[in-house]
Amino acid sequence: MTVTGQGARAADVLRELADGRASVRLRAAMAVGSAPDPRYAGALVERCAVEPDFFVRDMLTWALTRHPAPLTLPLLIREVRSARAQARSQALHTLSKIGDGRAWPALTRAVLTDPDEEVARSAWRAAVVLVPEGERSALAEVLATQLARGEREMRLSLSRALVALGEAVRPVLERAAAAPDPRVRTHALATLRLLDDPEAGFDSAVEDAKRIMALGPNSPEDSSG
């Protein structure tokens, strides 16, 4: 293919990534992922920030994972600081899929406590993938500040992230289980239950936590003691 031909094809791909039809955008993202090309990396990242279709976003992320990390990481880390919530969320999601620890410094306290719930959830998932072994306890401390945040799905996401940190999170959760806020205590106790028994369902763990709290701190069922 001539240089002119290559340039025309690149223009076609970029136009298809912005096409009004989701099926066309999906095919374009799949094509880019199947034949990675540095020319498309920036366009893929930019499209993630505005793409309304879940399946297309997923394909965009896959296409980015197919490109060299030294090329994509700076672009994604820049997006983590974007003013657009979807840009932040998708960048964090993609970083979790790439799994390159060099992105860890981008997971700041501000990112982990982002006011947008989807961004925060994406940050939690990315953090437990990227965290260095020696930083697990510090990460647990930050994540514990989010206990009792949001509704069920938000709390479930946080519990999963905390459990993924393993035993490093136990002292943090045990302290939180004595917090003044009963919602924090419930969430901490439920997460301790999941830490001890990963097969236990989240709703069941929450009910167990409520029962422990109702029986009092000296209950033999109290997982925090």
Would you place residue 220 in the very low, low, confident or very high pLDDT band (cuts 50, 70, 90)?
A: very low
For 145-217, where are the alpha helices, taking DSSP H only?
A: 152-164, 170-176, 182-196, 202-215
pLDDT at 25: 96
Average model confidence (pLDDT) across the chain: 91
Q: Residue 217's pLDDT band (boundaries 50, 70, 90)?
A: low
Residue 3 has pLDDT above 50, yes or no: no
Burial class (CB in 10 A: 0-12, 13-18, 19+), 126: buried
What does the pLDDT average to over 134-151?
96
Residue range 80-95: mean pLDDT, rounded: 98
Q: What is the pLDDT of residue 131?
A: 97
Residue 159, pLDDT score: 97
- Per-residue pLDDT reduced to its tens digit, 155-214: 999 999 999 999 999 999 999 999 999 999 999 999 999 999 988 899 889 988 888 888
Residue 8 predicted with pLDDT over 80? no
Interval 24-54: pLDDT, tens = 999 999 999 999 999 899 999 999 999 999 9
Helix, strand, coil % over all residues of the chain, rounded to 5: 75, 0, 25
pLDDT at 11: 78
Q: Which amino acid is at 75?
A: L
pLDDT of residue 140: 97
CB contact burial 50-70 (16+ within 10 A = b; e otherwise): ebeeeebbbbbbbbbbebebe
